[in-house]
Amino acid sequence: MKKKLRKFFLIFFIFIQFESIAEEKNYHKELITDWSRIFPDQNRNAAGPKFFKYIIDKKITYKDFIEFNKLYCAVSGSLIDPNSEPDFLYAYEIKTNEKICGDYYKCCIPCSCDIMKYSEVEKMKYEFLDGLKEFYVFTIKNPCNKEDFPDRVNKSYFCDGERINIDQVYSLNGRIVIGLLHKGRSCKKEEIDFVKSHRVTGRFCELRNNTPLENLEKGMGDIFIKLAR
């Protein structure tokens, strides 16, 4: 009898494990599969907002939303390796100018500097399959009336004339949402000190953010900066 019970529990455990694996989504593969639908002309330069729009338009749970948003760079528009580690940083909340801390998944180090300097965060609410959730998003102001709109960016992805193209990107209070600040919350003093003293978000970003635009060569260079400043 005991042997039969052990065998039953073993089979049951294996079944549960296989069921769990079957339910696990391959978010990265899904983004790769839909790449040509997200970027019909294959131009992803600075087009993180296209990923955000594609993801939030899906009928998904909040967990799915979080996982998808770990896999692209809001600054460059490039995909990120699923095993990448985020940078801990802060950005300014647009209404209060308060520092909001959280995790940012990036394709390269300069993107963390660029998003800290040239974006602002705002709290957003959205109804997912598992209910209403609240989170912080990175935003930039409407770039559509810029005379120096970067020519390596597909303007039609962002703009309909001088208005934000809401069919292509997500607009929040007249600004373009470019990505998600993961685990966003008001910064504590020690967190601010950590960001400022970190070798990337502190020392490297201070150097990069004080470099003249025409001298920037790493990361997206002047493309995102021209779009967002």
Residue 2 has pLDDT above 60, yes or no: no
Burial of 42 (0-12, 13-18, 19+ CB in 10 A): exposed
Flag whether 3 is in a domain: no
Flag whether 2 is in a domain: no
Following DSSP, what letter does each residue of 74-113 receive, concatenated? TTT--B--TTPPPEEEEEEBTTT--EEEEEE--SSHHHHH
pLDDT at site 209: 86
CA dist 135 and 183 (Å) reads 8
Flag whether 223 is in a domain: yes
| Residue listed under structure tokens 């998808």 | 68
Q: Are 110 and 46 in contact (CB under 8 A)?
A: no
Task: Give the predicted TM-score (pTM) of the model.
Answer: 0.86
CA dist 50 and 60 (Å) reads 17
Share of the chain above pLDDT 90, in %: 78
- The string of pLDDT tens digits covering residues 77-128 is 999 999 999 999 999 999 999 999 999 999 999 999 999 999 999 999 999 9
Q: Which two tokens stand for residue 136?
A: 């912080």
Cα 55–Cα 61–Cα 64 angle in degrees, nearest 5? 55
Closest to 130 (Cα-Cα) out of 68, 180, 62, 64? 62
Flag whether 1 is in a domain: no
Q: Are 71 and 80 in contact (CB under 8 A)?
A: yes
CA dist 127 and 129 (Å) reads 7
Flag whether 76 is in a domain: yes
Flag whether 114 is in a domain: yes
* Number of domains within the chain: 1
- The parent domain of residue 36 ranges over 9-228
